[in-house]
Amino acid sequence: MRSANIIGSGPNGLTAAVTLALAGVQVSVFERNVQPGGAAATGELTLPGFLHDIGSSVFPLGIASPAFRALQLEECGLEWLQPGVPMAHPLDDGSTITLESEVESTISQFSAHDARNYRLLLGPTIRAWEDLVDDFTRGLLRVPKHPVAMGVFGIPALLPAQVLARLLFRDERARALFAGCAAHSVIPFTKASSSAVALVMLAAGHTTGWPIARGGAVSISRALVNRLTELGGKLYTGVEVTSLTGLPHSDITLFDTSAESMASISGGALSLAFRQRITHFRPGPGIFKIDYALREPIPGRDLACLRAATVHLGGTLPEIARSEHDAFYGRHNERPFVLVTQPSLIDSTRSPLGRHTAWAYCHVPYGSERDMSASIETQIERFAPGFRDVVLDRCAWNTRALGRWNLNLAKGDISGGAMTLKGMLARPTIRGHRTSNARIYLASASTPPGGGVHGMCGYLAASAALADHRPR
């Protein structure tokens, strides 16, 4: 293999490009938007001087990613910033549960029973964190390098989040903390494996953290582009690819797109049977997102929220479970689980002096066009009275707007397909990154290990291509 074309320049596409370039392959990347980076992008969406992360904003799997570590992105200008605490979860009684870096500091907020079970649940994952990250970011249909550690992790991880939380914890405080982390799976808490993401998010908080990128998510994309250009790779922006015939000749083509877009662009280059199987790959719910320019930080009732760049708003386990269940099964919930980030609390480059930025989103049915602004802001006001008084400007995105900006987010699905157990095993088919055409590979979040900014989907796709087509 001498050359490769890559369609899409999200973190997965750029990671694939750098991985191939390191192996001596001549790489060309084609990006529809003017700014590369896919969902790892930053821009002025509200007022001048306020920089907002358009897509992702907090990166627990980014800093832990084996691919990002191997590419040494810090040498290319990427700087991780850690908040005082990884995450805060306020409750209706005015108190706040915090996911602290230290396990003992976290469980000091729980009853003795729940503290003991939390330590037993998370201890093995924390101790084997680097080994586990190396295994679970490479997909489930592989023989793990560390089978004992994966086995210990996998037993509770396969349980539905609602079952595991109620089995281990008696009090709502510990259950609520677990529920907020489980909501990152974007699947109902009654589904098998919905506990897996909660365990990963909690363990990340106690190990590598929940950092942001100085200067915004775009800093991750810039670091990847810098590494690519160092290696002689080419990046073409403002180029929308609609057919393989419009591309220069290459030995292979990798798609950092949805499976549906790959099938549309490839056309008859993929078998009819393969294209039909892709249609059975279930999408995940969508999101409704609001970016805020703020006069001052969000005025939480508990100052603990100002120690965290990430805040979970949703109250108790039953309330969060209902919200996630409704979104997955096509219903809107007027008291949705809301995820809030305030990166300007620890990154002064995000806003003018003394001002702040924030974004908030909730899960909604796939393709929903309902305006959830009122529901989101009501939830924020519930835990931070006076929030609306500090808002200078806002920019709201429904699923249609997200899809116009980034085709990979069509109809609001930020995970590249439902992260159910079935959706992880056959993602988007049992072939994983490979397709019915030996020269076409899928490298997006629609392949293992799934959604999130970590680059592993691209790294694994590139690795598969290198294994299949030894560079000359």
Q: Please provide the DSSP assignment of 252-279 as one string.
A: EEEE-S-HHHHHHHHGGGS-HHHHHHHT
pTM, two decimals, is: 0.95
pLDDT at 141: 74
Give the pLDDT band of residue 472 (cuts 50, 70, 90).
low
Domain count, the chain: 1
Q: Residue 70's domain is classified under what CATH number?
A: 3.50.50.60
Does residue 68 lie within any of the structural domains? yes
Does residue 295 lie within any of the structural domains? no
Mean pLDDT, range 269-280, rounded to an integer: 95
Does residue 307 lie within any of the structural domains? no
Does residue 436 lie within any of the structural domains? yes
Residue 39: phi, psi to the nearest 5?
Answer: -75, -10
Percent of the chain with pLDDT over 70: 100
pLDDT digits (tens, 9 = 90+) for 339-393: 999 999 999 999 999 999 999 999 999 999 999 999 999 999 999 999 999 999 9
Report CA Rg, the chain. 21
Does residue 314 lie within any of the structural domains? no
**What is d(CA 255, CA 266) in angstroms, rounded to the nearest whole number?**
10
pLDDT digits (tens, 9 = 90+) for 13-34: 999 999 999 999 999 999 999 9
The CA distances from residue 26 to 137, 157, 232, 471, in Å, are 26, 40, 7, 10
Does residue 393 lie within any of the structural domains? no
Does residue 258 lie within any of the structural domains? yes
pLDDT digits (tens, 9 = 90+) for 131-140: 999 999 988 7
Place of tokens 């210990």: 152
Does residue 11 lie within any of the structural domains? yes
Place of tokens 């987010």: 409
Give the pLDDT band of residue 48 (cuts 50, 70, 90).
very high
Q: Distance between alpha carbon 415 and the CA centroid of its chain, in Å?
A: 7
- Find the DSSP H helices in 57-160: 60-64, 66-71, 103-107, 112-127, 129-136, 147-157
Its domain, for residue 261, covers 3-41+59-79+212-282+416-469
